[in-house]
Amino acid sequence: MRLIKPFLILLLLVIVVSCSNDSTSEESEKKEELEEETLAGFVLQIEEKRFLMIDDEDKALYNELKDLSMEKILQMELEGPLVYVNYPNVDELEKGDEVLVKYDGVMTFSIPGQINASKVTKVE
Protein backbone atom coordinates (compact mmCIF):
# COMPACT_ATOMS: atom_id res chain seq x y z
CA MET A 1 0.00 0.00 0.00
CA ARG A 2 2.86 2.35 0.77
CA LEU A 3 4.33 1.85 -2.72
CA ILE A 4 1.08 2.31 -4.57
CA LYS A 5 0.47 5.90 -3.41
CA PRO A 6 3.88 7.30 -4.58
CA PHE A 7 3.55 5.34 -7.83
CA LEU A 8 0.12 6.85 -8.53
CA ILE A 9 1.41 10.37 -7.79
CA LEU A 10 4.35 9.83 -10.16
CA LEU A 11 2.06 8.45 -12.85
CA LEU A 12 -0.26 11.44 -12.48
CA LEU A 13 2.67 13.87 -12.83
CA VAL A 14 3.91 12.12 -15.98
CA ILE A 15 0.46 12.35 -17.56
CA VAL A 16 0.08 16.05 -16.71
CA VAL A 17 3.52 16.93 -18.08
CA SER A 18 3.02 15.01 -21.31
CA CYS A 19 -0.37 16.63 -21.95
CA SER A 20 0.99 20.13 -21.43
CA ASN A 21 3.79 19.57 -23.98
CA ASP A 22 1.30 18.51 -26.65
CA SER A 23 -0.74 21.71 -26.36
CA THR A 24 2.39 23.88 -26.56
CA SER A 25 3.54 22.20 -29.78
CA GLU A 26 0.05 22.53 -31.28
CA GLU A 27 0.00 26.26 -30.45
CA SER A 28 3.40 26.82 -32.08
CA GLU A 29 2.27 24.96 -35.20
CA LYS A 30 -0.83 27.17 -35.42
CA LYS A 31 1.32 30.31 -35.09
CA GLU A 32 3.58 29.11 -37.91
CA GLU A 33 0.55 28.52 -40.10
CA LEU A 34 -0.66 32.06 -39.48
CA GLU A 35 2.58 33.69 -40.60
CA GLU A 36 2.10 35.43 -43.91
CA GLU A 37 4.49 36.22 -46.71
CA THR A 38 4.46 39.19 -49.05
CA LEU A 39 5.01 39.52 -52.80
CA ALA A 40 5.51 42.79 -54.63
CA GLY A 41 4.98 43.35 -58.32
CA PHE A 42 2.69 44.58 -61.09
CA VAL A 43 -0.75 43.47 -62.25
CA LEU A 44 -0.55 42.05 -65.80
CA GLN A 45 -4.07 40.71 -66.31
CA ILE A 46 -7.30 40.75 -64.34
CA GLU A 47 -9.78 37.89 -64.47
CA GLU A 48 -12.83 36.96 -62.41
CA LYS A 49 -11.74 36.59 -58.75
CA ARG A 50 -8.03 36.44 -59.61
CA PHE A 51 -5.29 38.41 -61.31
CA LEU A 52 -1.94 37.66 -62.90
CA MET A 53 1.06 39.54 -61.56
CA ILE A 54 4.76 39.63 -62.26
CA ASP A 55 6.62 39.12 -58.98
CA ASP A 56 9.16 41.82 -59.72
CA GLU A 57 9.42 45.44 -58.65
CA ASP A 58 11.12 46.45 -61.93
CA LYS A 59 8.71 48.59 -63.97
CA ALA A 60 10.81 48.03 -67.11
CA LEU A 61 10.07 44.29 -67.05
CA TYR A 62 6.38 45.00 -66.66
CA ASN A 63 6.51 47.38 -69.65
CA GLU A 64 8.04 44.60 -71.80
CA LEU A 65 5.26 42.18 -70.88
CA LYS A 66 2.13 44.32 -70.63
CA ASP A 67 1.07 44.05 -74.29
CA LEU A 68 2.03 40.38 -74.84
CA SER A 69 -0.40 37.47 -74.84
CA MET A 70 -0.21 34.88 -72.09
CA GLU A 71 1.11 32.32 -74.58
CA LYS A 72 4.04 34.57 -75.57
CA ILE A 73 4.80 35.44 -71.95
CA LEU A 74 5.00 31.75 -71.00
CA GLN A 75 7.42 31.07 -73.87
CA MET A 76 9.86 33.69 -72.56
CA GLU A 77 12.51 33.02 -69.94
CA LEU A 78 11.60 35.55 -67.28
CA GLU A 79 13.77 36.81 -64.46
CA GLY A 80 10.74 37.41 -62.23
CA PRO A 81 8.08 34.72 -61.88
CA LEU A 82 4.45 35.05 -62.88
CA VAL A 83 1.87 34.37 -60.20
CA TYR A 84 -1.90 34.00 -60.31
CA VAL A 85 -3.33 35.63 -57.20
CA ASN A 86 -6.75 34.40 -56.09
CA TYR A 87 -8.46 37.44 -54.63
CA PRO A 88 -12.20 38.19 -54.57
CA ASN A 89 -11.91 42.01 -54.74
CA VAL A 90 -10.24 42.37 -58.14
CA ASP A 91 -12.63 45.23 -58.97
CA GLU A 92 -10.33 47.50 -56.93
CA LEU A 93 -7.37 46.80 -59.25
CA GLU A 94 -6.32 47.92 -62.70
CA LYS A 95 -3.80 46.55 -65.14
CA GLY A 96 -0.42 48.11 -64.37
CA ASP A 97 -1.02 48.69 -60.66
CA GLU A 98 1.98 48.09 -58.44
CA VAL A 99 0.77 45.90 -55.57
CA LEU A 100 1.87 44.26 -52.34
CA VAL A 101 0.19 40.89 -51.82
CA LYS A 102 0.00 39.17 -48.45
CA TYR A 103 -0.65 35.44 -48.61
CA ASP A 104 -0.37 32.34 -46.45
CA GLY A 105 3.05 31.30 -47.80
CA VAL A 106 1.69 28.46 -49.91
CA MET A 107 2.27 28.62 -53.68
CA THR A 108 1.39 25.90 -56.18
CA PHE A 109 4.08 24.45 -58.43
CA SER A 110 2.03 25.14 -61.54
CA ILE A 111 3.16 27.52 -64.26
CA PRO A 112 2.32 30.21 -63.42
CA GLY A 113 2.20 29.59 -59.68
CA GLN A 114 -0.98 30.32 -57.74
CA ILE A 115 -1.52 31.83 -54.31
CA ASN A 116 -4.48 32.82 -52.16
CA ALA A 117 -4.18 36.44 -51.08
CA SER A 118 -5.40 37.61 -47.71
CA LYS A 119 -4.72 41.28 -48.53
CA VAL A 120 -3.75 43.25 -51.63
CA THR A 121 -2.48 46.81 -51.26
CA LYS A 122 -1.80 49.25 -54.10
CA VAL A 123 1.58 50.96 -53.89
CA GLU A 124 1.22 54.67 -54.54
| Per-residue model confidence as pLDDT tens for the chain (124 residues) | 677 877 677 766 777 666 655 555 555 555 555 678 899 999 998 999 999 998 887 788 888 888 888 788 778 777 668 899 999 999 999 999 999 999 998 988 888 889 999 999 998 8
The alpha carbons of the chain give a radius of gyration, in whole angstroms, of 24
Separation CA 102–CA 55 (nearest Å): 12
pLDDT of residue 94: 92
- Would the pTM count as exceeding 0.75? no
Give the up-direction half-sphere exposure of residue 123: CA atoms within 13 A in the CB hemisphere.
13
Gap between the Cα atoms of 70 and 52, Å rounded: 10
Q: Say if CB 30 and CB 68 are below 8 A apart.
A: no
CA distances from 117 to 23, 69, 84, 108, 114 (A): 29, 24, 10, 13, 10
What pLDDT score was predicted for residue 105? Answer: 87
